[in-house]
Amino acid sequence: MSLTLDDRQINPPVLLAPLAGITDLPFRDLVTSFGAGLVVSEMVASQEMVEARQSVRDRAELGFGVENTSVQLAGRDPRWMAEAARMVAANGARVIDINMGCPAKKVVGGLSGSALMRDPDHALRLIEAVADAVDVPVTLKTRLGWDEGSLNAADLARRAEGAGVRMVVIHGRTRCQFYKGRADWAQIRAVRDAVSIPVIANGDIVDADSARRALALSGADGVMVGRGAQGRPWILAQIAHDLGHGPAPDIPEGGELIDMISNHYEAMLTFYGHDLGLRVARKHLGWYMDGMGTGTALRRRILTSRDPAEVLRLLPEAPEQERCAA
């Protein structure tokens, strides 16, 4: 299985999905350190970005100039989408992704994200505006459709290819499903049959077995992992290895795992600052402790502490709870 985006090889063909509030720069750097073919930034609202003129931290957040990073844009106005695309390309973005898959009410209420699948003609105008504005590869992320009565991903992907999109990622649910039920990987095959550009399967891919099933049912050229990477930044590399791409990752255990978690925690505090960093870090620490089976009392102390030194002191005790409970 080989995946090419224009003149660049995406190797391995296992990608990290954009997840709002999760796939920030510290997390993407950590996932990349284990191995990932492409990581995608959190969704950026096009008009707000252009009008606000990003801060230094915001610019760093997008990973400008990082070879394996794609910057994802969202919006409803072709003008602002094109302006934002030109801005991020001028700042060094290597790949630009268009979000037409986010199901969040706030995004859909603004007629962005998956709401655009209800108006394919307008969606195409946005795609054309971005593709015409930049020379870097433009990709598209969608769902199967708005609901079961309008599974139009294949038609939109075909038109997007004609407008210059170089790869499509399809989450195997409709917008109205949100994240309920199971991703329907077989429905992605219609998209694969409609286009000649790479197609990536997304949704419920959490390990090598689910990746194999998704690839077999969809005929896709690669897979994208989202929630499955929470608390397991090595899982993309493990999936890639199990699919025959590259060496097995060195999955940290014991002291090495605590060191990795501690370094990730400190990286978030450095990137966001103390107060915001503490809030952002809690979800990641919670996922790590889920994997370690940390006891309830210690978990509460770690997640409620506002003293980084205390958190770092307590973290080595977290995996001990699992052994004591066994």
Burial status of residue 67 (CB atoms within 10 A of its CB: 0-12, 13-18, 19 or more): exposed
Burial status of residue 309 (CB atoms within 10 A of its CB: 0-12, 13-18, 19 or more): exposed
Q: Is 121 helix (H, G, I), strand (E, B) or coil?
A: helix
From the candidates 73, 102, 197, 269, give the one annotated as an active-site residue: 102
Q: Record the tokens describing residue 269, joined without a space.
A: 């505090």
> Has 141 been labeled as part of a binding site?
yes
311 vs 274: CA distance, rounded Å = 13
> Has 113 been labeled as part of a binding site?
no
Residue 163 CA, chain-centre distance (Å), reads 24
- Residue 123: CB atoms within 10 A of its CB come to 23
> Has 9 been labeled as part of a binding site?
no
Phi then psi for residue 192, to 5 deg, are: -55, -40
Residue 267 is inside which H or E element, if any? helix 254-272
Burial status of residue 4 (CB atoms within 10 A of its CB: 0-12, 13-18, 19 or more): middle
Told to judge if 102 belongs to the known catalytic residues of this protein, a careful annotator would answer yes
> Has 227 been labeled as part of a binding site?
yes
Annotated binding-site residues read 72, 141, 171, 226-227
Annotated binding-site residues for FMN read 72, 141, 171, 226-227
| Catalytic annotation, residues | 102
